[in-house]
Amino acid sequence: LTGVPREQRAFQYLLAHAIPGDPRHVLQTFDQWCHRCEHLSCVGPVKGRIVERLLYERAPLRVLELGTYCGYGTVLLAQALPPGARLYTVELDPCHAAVAEKVIRLAGFDEQTVELIVGPSEEVIPQLRERHGLAQADFVFMDHRKRRYLRDLRLLESHRLLAAGATVLADNVLFPGAPHFLQYAKTCGKYRCRVHRASLEY
């Protein structure tokens, strides 16, 4: 009715209630909005704990996120990175990217820590090394369109963007599901696979 997209309404709520420069409080405020006001397809706190645990275990220095959306996952990733690490996040939709940029900066992360790249992943991935300086990623978080998971994993492989021992974490592979990606990861012989079971967001 207002003509304001729900992602922008969520950001206005963040501006009114979140503590600037406090990424954990920004995430908590996002969660409050999604629980009480409107659902957004963010990672959420339950799956967020899985993401955080894996980041703390692996301490990656170069992280790639595919699917920024509103920046929730980006803030979640960035606040769990070790000192000196850099996060590259890719978003197709320029309107979502505009909101995410403001969320990321509100949480206190500058462009040296988090670089937001706007464009389709199939075009961005081949340019990551030359245009953005990402030689190889130690950790990849996939949370974009599920039918693109397998295509983009193969693109990362073909452009040698996965470091030895890299972790690829993909959200929602069971529901709504990415069956071809899951089958490839389990049977191609390149990966050790583990499914983390969790509830849907909020």
Instruction: Write the CATH number for 47.
Output: 3.40.50.150
Q: Write out the residue range of the structural domain in which residue 61 sits.
A: 6-188
Q: Which of 47, 91, 101, 146 is catalytic?
A: 146
31 flagged as catalytic: no
Cβ 122 vs Cβ 151: under 8 Å: yes
Q: Check if 146 is active-site.
A: yes
Residue in this structure with the two tokens 């220095």, named with its chain if needed: 61
Is pLDDT above 90 for 165?
yes
- The residue type found at 19 is I
Residue 153, pLDDT > 90, answer yes
% of the chain at pLDDT higher than 70: 100
**Whether pLDDT at 20 is above 70:** yes
Read off the tokens for 81.
């990175």
Angle between helix 23-36 and helix 72-79 axes, rounded to 10 deg = 150
- pTM value is 0.96
CA pair distance 122, 124, nearest whole angstrom: 6
In percent, the amount of the chain with pLDDT more than 90 equals 94
> Is residue 79 a part of any domain in this protein?
yes
Q: Say if 106 falls within a structural domain.
A: yes
Question: Looking at the domain assignment, is residue 37 inside a domain?
Answer: yes
171 is catalytic: yes
Count of domains in the chain? Answer: 1
pLDDT at 1: 60
Would 197 be classed as within a structural domain? no
In-domain check, residue 157 = yes
47, 172, 186, 190: which one is catalytic? Answer: 172
- pLDDT, tens only, 23-68: 999 999 999 999 999 999 999 999 999 999 999 999 999 999 999 9
Residue 13 included in any domain: yes
Measured from the Cβ of residue 102, the count of other Cβ atoms closer than 10 Å reads 16
Catalytic site residue from 143, 152, 157, 190:
143
Residue 202 lies in a domain: no
> According to the model, what pLDDT value does residue 60 have?
98
